[in-house]
Structure 1
């Protein structure tokens, strides 16, 4: 009696994607060696990886930062956003100048009586046309300065830090108007804050800052020569911007984030405290404050 030949080995099981068990595949992840289907393949330097391995790998990749600690900026989106907001506000006040100016311009008396939002909204308004086409130069100059200087500062600081600088400078200008002026509109406080920060950042990086000084000097002369310009807003924004710029640029490496954001918070708290504890100049004599 003859012995039957040995049976052929059974065909090995066809591998299927570990994320989609019903899909046959012969491709494996280069890191974990699990089978992956075309929908799960993520191209790597060599072969393909599965989504989970790609996600784990991204966690170990160090995020690119700016020279002062912010996230690297490829497109200055914060600058463009501020530009758009200023232009939209100008369109709104052009279409309906009376209600917009009356309710949202920086007004020291109104802020003193509780309309605190004017400290911010006034920085997004500009002198309306009102039959005088010359007044359009107000928004044109401010937006030109934001367009030229904003992207440079945003790339140096990072978008969030630049936004904090801009808004705190605008608030600093508004607080100066509150203390020493009456009413004002315009982004000039924020723009002068960028001038001050640009000077500080340039010095910190070892650049020649004389051009920035000339820019500040020329604008300061114009500020005090033209009677309709709010010198209070310009000066308040300039000082605030220089202080915030110094906090961001000279923060120690070891505790940079805590120092930067803590410093910005202290500046904000100080400005708020001034508004809460001091009456505007127009009421100081009436309330017995020394003039």
Structure 2
């Protein structure tokens, strides 16, 4: 005789246990409180009320507008890794190692390196059409100490600036600062051969000063660092003062366009429009730097004997 409470024929009428909607091979007694579909523990996430499946969680996140900081960058609950800063540092180090290998010296990598000779900012070369010098010079360095100082400064300044501006805007500000440094050299330092990431680093210093002003915090610390570095640029021979100042002004102007441009153009209350206006202002700074370089090239080509 079969006991109706234990297996056997009586168990044949028991309905099968529901299967997870994402894993049909997993029986489950749980379900999503939002859509009601059966889900295994792996596919459920804790919600304000009950648990929701991963599909409902993803759908809910699409409906929530992202929180943005003062520069329009998306704010995350976890501090993002400043990958752009690390990538720029890696690129600078890679170029330095190439020049050092070509010159067979880490202290005099600028002697006997074909890459250094091709990329160093020499205004006459730019006038002759060697435009790669305008950007390439920003990744060259005169010896180990030069790159060590610049990369340390980039590591200190770049990470925080990237987190505030966001990766894309930070990347453009960095390259805009290189353009500004090259434009200043083309205007005021025709007889020099310059190289280094210092112009970009000065640009990030200017960016930090503008960011602090926008956050209504004192820019005195970064302004002090800028003043000390300008003093060093003036007093120590062989340092490109104009390259530093050009990068500083361009980086500050680009960041001011991002942070203050939307307010000046009446887009401050609309966050999406403000981000767009910030990009337009940033692009305008880049175009101005390029225009200065282009006009200067035409002027120098018109000079007899240059």
Structure 1 stretch displaced more, 67-76 or 116-125 = 67-76
**CA distances 1:3-62 after superposition (whole Å, capped 9, x unpaired):** xxxxx99543543333455553322112111122455x1322355433321220121233
Q: Is the 8 A contact 2:206 2:252 kept in 1?
A: yes
For structure 1, which runs of at least 5 residues remain unmatched after alignment? Answer: 1-7, 129-135
Which of residues 74, 83, 86 is equivalent to 2:80? 74
Q: Is the 8 A contact 1:25 1:35 kept in 2?
A: yes
**CA distances 1:214-247 after superposition (whole Å, capped 9, x unpaired):** 2222211221222311122111111101111211
Which of residues 260, 268, 271 is equivalent to 2:289? 271
1:119 maps to which residue?
A: 134
1:5 maps to which residue?
A: none
For structure 2, which runs of at least 5 residues remain unmatched after alignment? Answer: 1-9, 104-112
1:61 maps to which residue?
A: 64
* SS of residue in 2 equivalent to 1:207: coil
Structure 1 stretch displaced more, 251-260 or 10-19 = 10-19
1:3 maps to which residue?
A: none
Which of residues 44, 50, 53 is equivalent to 2:53? 50
CA apart distance, 1:203 = 2.1
1:102 aligns with 2:112: no
Which of residues 157, 160, 165 is equivalent to 1:152? 160
Q: Following the alignment from structure 1 to structure 2, what is the Cα–Cα distance between the partners of residues 195 and 20?
A: 53
Pick closer, same or farther for the CA change 1:282–1:230 going to 2, 3 Å: farther
1:18 aligns with 2:36: no
Q: Following the alignment from structure 1 to structure 2, what is the Cα–Cα distance between the partners of residues 115 and 59?
A: 47
Pick closer, same or farther for the CA change 1:141–1:284 going to 2, 3 Å: farther
Q: Following the alignment from structure 2 to structure 1, what is the Cα–Cα distance between the partners of residues 222 and 301?
A: 37
**Moved beyond 6 Å, runs of 4+:** none
Which of residues 168, 182, 194 is equivalent to 1:174? 182
| Alignment coverage as a number of residue pairs | 274
C-alpha root-mean-square deviation of aligned residues, in Å? 2.6
TM-score (norm 2): 0.79
Q: Is the 8 A contact 1:16 1:23 kept in 2?
A: yes
**CA distances 1:134-186 after superposition (whole Å, capped 9, x unpaired):** xx332222122112222222232222222221111111101222333342110
1:4 maps to which residue?
A: none
Q: Following the alignment from structure 1 to structure 2, what is the Cα–Cα distance between the partners of residues 206 and 277?
A: 38
* SS of residue in 2 equivalent to 1:171: helix
Q: Following the alignment from structure 2 to structure 1, what is the Cα–Cα distance between the partners of residues 166 and 116?
A: 32
* SS of residue in 1 equivalent to 2:297: coil
* SS of residue in 2 equivalent to 1:49: strand
